Amino acid sequence: MIKQVTVFMENVEGRLALVCRTLAQAGINMHALTIADTQDFGVVRIIVDDPNRALDALTQENFRAQLVDVAAFSIPNRPGGLADLLDALAEAKLNIEYGYCFQTKGESAVDVLKIKGENVARALETLALAGYTTLELSDIVA
Amino acid sequence: MIDRQEHVLTMPHAEIEAVQLEGIKRTLIACYENIPFYKKSFDEAGFDPYAVSSLSNMERAPFTTKQDLRDHAPYGMFARPLSEVAEIHMSSGTTGVATVGGYTQHDIKIWSDCFARSMIYAGATESDVAHICYGYGLFTGGLGAHYGSMAAGCTVIPISAGQTERQIRVLREMGSTILCCTPSYAMHIADTALEMGLDPAKDFHLRAGIHGAEPFSDNFRSELEAKFGYKVLDIYGLTETMGPGVAGECWEQSGLHLAEDHFYAEIIDPETGRVLPDGEWGELVLTSVDRQACPVVRYRTRDITRIIPGVCACGRTHRRIDRLHGRTDDMLVIRGVNVFPSQIEDVMKTFPQVSSWYQIELTNERHLDEVTLKVEIDPEFDFDEISALEGVQRQIASHLKRDLSVKIDVRIVEPKSLPRSEGKAKRVIDLRKGVFND
């Protein structure tokens, strides 16, 4: 499991820019960023090289931010790479909250999944049995 | 036979005062002998309800507050048994505890006569058709207007509030001549009609509007009058002392005539409780002269007004209060409904997902009050789920609608960088136009 930074933002111009600038000024590098938005607000999810320092920097700037446990897996970088993993979960009747992929270099890509707490153990077990490797933050940011 | 009440409305003031004194003496004794709250209150203040010989003696009587009414709801402030109570009304309260008012048949007659005065001031006759779109039900607006309009001889259309397009059809086709509703709803009807390509001044048959239940500025009144081509008469009242009709504007539009044969009015300094002379702004305090079921003694309305000195050009002798200048407390009036910020806080407390910080923003872009409640996520709450965030917004809004009877949009906002501990937080941002000033 790795720590993802989740930040709450009002749907007002300049907020995302300020989130990114705040991290930049703290010398923190981002590796993935995705936003889920509604009419009034957005929730931005970021993989950074130093989650704890990122949380401090954002909190200092009065953002509502928290660290969230997500599972990261290495998947083959080919058509069906993600579909196969998701099929394995569906067969085991496991649902996911959300997910995203990045870092497609060469043979493999990183897939991040947010899984509900009560399902995490079973999901990890299911995917391990199916041959997927879980990744630590150091695997991703190196 | 329609009672135009001409005799009572032009009685010499000394006679009015005699009626007040006689009535107040009965009220004080009825309160003391039938309502434990008043017995305790008078005894603790050393006030003898049997020893009142002039109106100025009332300055020694203790006040009654809204909290007193809430504390003794539902029936603790009734001076008569329920078997004598013909009708009950309530104002909305926090977490289900409303203030309750009861009316004997006699009280209904007084109420009816009081509201009828506004119709009489508007020159109403049997030829008038009263369009009642105050809400009917537990709120006092609808039925008060209904009784009063009927007593004044009008044909009453009890359409209640809502369904604006139907209101417009009825106004056009059924010849309504006097419109009774909140001022903001009147404006909404006018604006909707204009959007439909109608001209409210030509396509309706209105000649007057009796509007109250919420404050509105002189500019707002002028705009209503221009749009409808009619005359607006302000009306004042509160459920705690009866309902609409405690005071009403006459055709001169220079103040609202109190119904002094039914209410003894004082203006006090809200900080010290001292009675102020006519002409000075302060808090309106009311004592029932002849209310039977639920008389009140020196009820603090929290409304700021003054007694307008002198005699009105209309020749009627009941003194006038000025149009309201605000409140002494933090109560808001939203679409005619009284809302205290503390009621909103009570709902928020039941949601651990939000912190205790909040701000209420009020606007009236399209002349109807819109309220947004801004809340913050509690730092302990896991907000990584959009549906959970939206769910919290929806649930808070739904509880507010259920408890306060008013629609409030709830929006989660980011924590602000303003320090919280500096003085009293500004909870209410009222951006509405046409309420008190402007």
State whether residue A68 sits within 8 Å of chain B by CB: yes
Which residues of chain B are within 8 Å of residue A38 when distances are taken between CB atoms? 386, 389-390
Q: In chain A, what is the greatest distance between 2 CA atoms, to the nearest angstrom?
A: 45
- Give the pLDDT confidence score for residue B419 in this predicted structure: 46
pLDDT tens digit sequence for A118-141: 999 999 999 999 999 999 999 998
- Give the pLDDT confidence score for residue A25 in this predicted structure: 97
Judge: A64–B385 Cβ closer than 8 Å, yes or no: no
Nearest residue in B to A68, CA atom: B384
- Give the pLDDT confidence score for residue B98 in this predicted structure: 80
- Give the pLDDT confidence score for residue A142 in this predicted structure: 73
What's the pLDDT band for B4 if we cut at 50, 70, 90?
very high
Question: What percent of chain B has a predicted confidence (pLDDT) above 90?
Answer: 77
ipTM: 0.85
Return the residue in B414, B416, B417, B420 with the most chain A beta carbons within 10 A, the one to mutate for interface testing. B414
Which residues of chain B are within 8 Å of residue A10 when distances are taken between CB atoms? 413-414
Which residues of chain B are within 8 Å of residue A62 when distances are taken between CB atoms? 414-417
pLDDT tens digit sequence for B275-306: 999 999 999 999 999 999 999 999 999 999 99
- Give the pLDDT confidence score for residue B366 in this predicted structure: 78
CA distance A62 to chain B (A): 6
Going from the C-alpha of B88 to that of each of A116, A122, B111, B289, the distances in angstroms are: 52, 61, 13, 20
Nearest residue in A to B380, CA atom: A66
CA distance B381 to chain A (A): 9
Judge: A9–B376 Cβ closer than 8 Å, yes or no: no
State whether residue A53 sits within 8 Å of chain B by CB: no
CA distance A129 to chain B (A): 28
Give the mean pLDDT of chain A. Answer: 94
Of the partner residues A38, A40, A66, the one whose CB lies closest to the CB of residue B383: A66
Which residues of chain B are within 8 Å of residue A68 when distances are taken between CB atoms? 382, 384
Judge: B413–A97 Cβ closer than 8 Å, yes or no: no
Average pLDDT score over residue span B152-163: 96
More confident residue, B220 or A17: A17
> Is the pLDDT reported for residue B423 higher than 70?
no
What does the alpha-carbon distance between residue A124 and residue B419 come to, in Å, rounded to a whole number?
Answer: 44
pLDDT tens digit sequence for A63-98: 999 999 999 999 999 999 999 999 999 999 999 999
> Is the pLDDT reported for residue B357 higher than 50?
yes
Of the partner residues A36, A64, A68, the one whose CB lies closest to the CB of residue B377: A64
Q: Is the dihedral of CA A126, A128, A131, A135 positive or negative?
A: positive
Which residues of chain A are within 8 Å of residue B414 when distances are taken between CB atoms? 8-10, 15, 62-64
State whether residue A118 sits within 8 Å of chain B by CB: no
> Is the pLDDT reported for residue B438 higher than 80?
no
- Give the pLDDT confidence score for residue B421 in this predicted structure: 47
pLDDT tens digit sequence for B27-84: 999 999 999 999 999 999 999 999 999 999 999 999 999 999 999 999 999 999 999 9
> Is the pLDDT reported for residue B418 higher than 50?
no
pTM passes above 0.80: no
CA angle A49, A4, A32 (to 5 degrees): 65
Judge: A38–B389 Cβ closer than 8 Å, yes or no: yes
Going from the C-alpha of B98 to that of each of B80, B85, B240, B327, B338, the distances in angstroms are: 19, 18, 11, 20, 11
> Is the pLDDT reported for residue B417 higher than 80?
no
pLDDT tens digit sequence for B301-342: 999 999 999 999 999 999 999 998 778 788 888 888 888 888
> Is the pLDDT reported for residue B123 higher than 80?
yes
> Is the pLDDT reported for residue B350 higher than 60?
yes
Q: How many CB atoms lie within 10 A of CB B309?
A: 11
